[in-house]
Structure 1
């Protein structure tokens, strides 16, 4: 938990907190890079929170470096996501509603799990992702990322 979120929690307790986030959709062809985070078993996309005063794209680059030690190139925005699929109550009772901007990304350097936040990485074709234990909100993001992108 960041110092910023901790300061908010000290004032609001377990009440619902809406937090901005960023998500990296790292793909090569029809394969997507997914991660298993230490605090949850299901596979998910890589990302995290936007800190106060931070540009979302800068937050994404920072989160990817922190979690998998890799550099990326952002190719564009896939979409923005939130609502019930991204609302969680943690075991400590903290309620959080995440709103994330998902970015289409290209991996520029080798990725490796940091072992603090991420325990495992894997490349999966879109057709195999539905059979994985996963955060189900990623299905919509990956479906949107698989759509033909308009020319820029």
Structure 2
């Protein structure tokens, strides 16, 4: 598997050569903990998510990606925001693709299933707000989670 390298506001970052709509999902359980994955491509913690496939809606992609990466079934409940900051690029070394960030971040509630590791997630666990601070993650992912906790009246457009 190739590596994923995130760059944020880095003058030495490679130039973006693609833009792929994707989704991230803030799945909460009954205790208010958030479902987090430890990515196998960069070893950072992140919300579950991935590219939106042709023929599926944003919500369908969110449910599919969450199930594929974590084993958890969920139901979409809302929108945190839309993130398309051109200062954030993601380099996939396997094919030399460099994507400009374009992620729609949704909220969801856990409906069934137990978290378990997958080919995309070496660890999957429920994480409380306090414990979240100790996890290693990219700055863009941390911003998305912070925006979720801010509980804004309207979605973030960043």
Answer yes or no: same fold by TM over 0.5: yes
Partner in structure 1 of residue 120 of structure 2: 117
Which of 61, 64, 69 is matched with 2:63 structurally?
Answer: 61
Distance, in Å, in 2 between the alignment partners of 1:64 and 1:31 is 15
Q: Which runs of 5+ in 1 are unaligned?
A: 2-13
Partner in structure 1 of residue 143 of structure 2: 140
Distance, in Å, in 2 between the alignment partners of 1:15 and 1:41 is 22
Question: Is the Cα contact below 8 Å between 1:102 and 1:141 reproduced in 2?
Answer: yes
Aligned positions, number: 139
Distance, in Å, in 2 between the alignment partners of 1:145 and 1:111 is 23
1:126 and 2:126 are equivalent in the alignment? no
Shift in CA distance, 138/124, structure 1 to aligned 2, threshold 3 Å: same
1:19 and 2:15 are equivalent in the alignment? no
Cα-Cα RMSD: 2.4
Runs of 4+ aligned residues of structure 1 deviating over 4 Å after TM superposition are: none
Q: Which runs of 5+ in 2 are unaligned?
A: 3-14, 154-158
Shift in CA distance, 74/15, structure 1 to aligned 2, threshold 3 Å: closer
User: What's the offset of the Cα at 1:146?
Assistant: 1.2
User: What's the offset of the Cα at 1:48?
Assistant: 0.6
Q: Aligned runs of 1:72-151 on 2, under 5 Å?
A: 72-84=74-86, 86-92=88-94, 93-148=96-151, 150=153
Q: Which has the higher helix share?
A: 1
